[in-house]
């Protein structure tokens, strides 16, 4: 501020510099900006290089409860907890899930730009409190050069007018950047998938019913809704040769806004491998150490890296029981040298209504 005032004083009278200083104080006092926050997650995730003075990410608490006596349940990493569940589904159920997916037809797996609302909010805040404000004031000062005895009111009016125009330009550019980023994120996932919400077949039925047995009933609802009410409908995903999924998170720091129509935050991810994959196609957690004593750990990997085995399930918790995002659960689907099929259920914080979740009619009839 002192340097800017000094430059102005060298070209205009002292009274004009005081006017500019007053305009600066006025525009800053008239605008309130929300503090920046830790950068939101993307699904898949690519971090923006944005400096922030926000407090650190909230401490991650306890995960949601599960049935610790579930057959085959094995903890392979603690804090954050990652489990393998041996023989979660039998061969018949695995094959039926694949058959049902082929029958329905798969399409390019969608990628949600999770956290876009926080991105826009943060970028607008940075633009408004930085370049937009200074350019508005400098523009007002430049315009005042053609006026005799420029007044404080004149400079303030020029500043606000310039600010409004520059803010609109910044908003348009940020919206265009957000759209570009959303389009680019889709390239990070090359698999195809489909959702199965019909439990009349053995594969989807067994997957959902056994998932219910795994997850403890929700304690957040006094109506004792059944566990499946908190599930997204099973999704079957196919990875063909060389297809992959880039490092990403399953939770979303903006879930309370962006995921409100699909149950809010993702509290647990359950993946079942539907076929054996001898080469490639591993599930890698880039921020966790290897499970050196587990036979499913990929040899030579410096991180937790799970080899797919038909019928086994992988369980982890992208956020704690209160919905606090856990960045340690970043993971990826490594390139598949052979074809890979998986089925996934996301367990959310709240009831997941159709079309994302299972209908009451389906649950009452089949579960």
Q: Determine, yes or no, domain membership for 44.
A: no
State the Cα–Cα distance between residues 167 and 290, nearest whole angstrom.
48
Domain check: are 125 and 192 in the same one? no
Question: DSSP letter string over 189-247?
Answer: B--EEEE---TTSHHHHHHHHHHHHHBPPPSS-TT---GGGGBBPPEEEEE-TT--EEE
Structure confidence at residue 148 as a pLDDT band (50, 70, 90):
low
pLDDT tens for 249-272 read 999 888 888 888 899 999 999 999
Query: In what helix (H) or strand (E) does residue 9 lie, and over which residues does it extend?
Result: helix 2-11
From the list 195, 317, 320, 323, the residue with the least C-alpha distance to 257 is 323
Three state DSSP letters for 95-145:
HHHHHHHHHHCCEECCCCCCCHHHHHHHHHHHHHHHHHHHHHHHHHHHHHC
Can you give the pLDDT at residue 107?
87
Domain check: are 193 and 143 in the same one? no
342 φ, ψ to 5°? -135, 160
> Lowest mean pLDDT: which of 124-138, 218-232, 333-347?
124-138
Domain check: are 8 and 131 in the same one? yes
pLDDT tens for 4-40 read 333 333 333 334 344 444 444 444 444 433 333 333 3
pLDDT tens for 99-121 read 999 999 998 865 555 554 666 56
State the Cα–Cα distance between residues 247 and 46, nearest whole angstrom.
8
Can you give the pLDDT at residue 255?
85
Domain check: are 220 and 255 in the same one? yes
Instruction: Give the number of domains in the chain.
Output: 2
Domain check: are 288 and 199 in the same one? yes
CB 198 within 8 A of CB 53: no
Q: Determine, yes or no, domain membership for 37.
A: no
10 Å CB burial of residue 11 (0-12, 13-18, 19+) is: exposed
Domain check: are 194 and 269 in the same one? yes
Can you give the pLDDT at residue 78?
97
Q: What percent of the chain has pLDDT over 90?
A: 52
Residue 275 has pLDDT above 70, yes or no: yes
The residue count of the chain comes to: 367
Domain check: are 131 and 236 in the same one? no
Domain check: are 124 and 259 in the same one? no
Domain check: are 239 and 181 in the same one? no
Domain check: are 256 and 159 in the same one? no
State the Cα–Cα distance between residues 228 and 208, nearest whole angstrom.
7
Can you give the pLDDT at residue 8?
30
- pTM for this prediction: 0.69
3-state SS class at 169: helix
Residue 199 has pLDDT above 80, yes or no: yes
Q: Report the chain's mean pLDDT, rounded to a whole number.
A: 78
Domain check: are 177 and 80 in the same one? no
Range of the domain at 144: 2-32+117-186
From the list 310, 303, 292, 306, the residue with the least C-alpha distance to 91 is 310
């Amino acid at each position: 501020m002192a340097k800017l005032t000094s430059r102005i004083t060298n070209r205009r009278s002292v009274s004009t510099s005081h006017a500019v200083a007053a305009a600066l104080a006025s525009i800053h006092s008239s605008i309130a900006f929300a503090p920046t926050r830790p950068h939101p997650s993307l699904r898949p995730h690519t971090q923006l290089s944005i400096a922030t003075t926000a407090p650190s990410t909230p401490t991650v608490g306890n995960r949601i409860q599960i049935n610790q006596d579930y057959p085959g349940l094995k903890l392979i990493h603690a804090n954050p907890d990652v489990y393998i569940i041996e023989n979660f589904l039998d061969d018949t159920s695995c094959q039926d899930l694949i058959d049902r997916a082929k029958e329905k037809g798969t399409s390019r797996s969608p990628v949600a730009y999770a956290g876009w609302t926080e991105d826009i909010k943060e970028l607008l805040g940075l633009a408004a409190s930085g370049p937009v404000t200074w350019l508005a004031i400098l523009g007002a000062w430049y315009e005042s050069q053609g006026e005799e005895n420029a007044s404080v009111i004149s400079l303030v009016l020029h500043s606000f007018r310039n600010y409004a125009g520059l803010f609109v330009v910044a908003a348009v550019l940020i919206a265009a950047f957000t759209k570009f980023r959303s389009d680019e994120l889709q390239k990070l996932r090359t698999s195809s998938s489909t959702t199965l919400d019909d439990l009349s077949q053995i594969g989807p039925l067994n997957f959902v019913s056994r998932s219910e047995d795994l997850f403890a009933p929700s304690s957040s609802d006094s109506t004792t809704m059944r566990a499946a009410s908190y599930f997204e409908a099973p999704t079957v995903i196919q990875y063909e040769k060389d297809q992959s999924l880039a490092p990403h998170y399953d939770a979303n720091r903006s879930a309370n806004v962006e995921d409100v129509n699909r149950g809010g935050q993702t509290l647990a991810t359950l993946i079942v491998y539907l076929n054996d994959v001898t080469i490639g196609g591993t599930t890698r957690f880039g921020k966790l150490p290897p499970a050196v004593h587990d036979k499913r750990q990929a040899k030579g990997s410096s991180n937790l890296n799970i080899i797919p085995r038909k019928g086994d399930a992988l369980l982890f918790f992208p956020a704690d029981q209160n919905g606090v995002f856990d960045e340690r659960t970043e993971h990826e689907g490594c390139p598949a040298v052979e074809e890979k099929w998986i089925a996934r259920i996301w367990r959310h914080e709240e009831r997941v209504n159709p079309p994302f979740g299972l209908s009451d009619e389906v649950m009452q009839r089949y579960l």
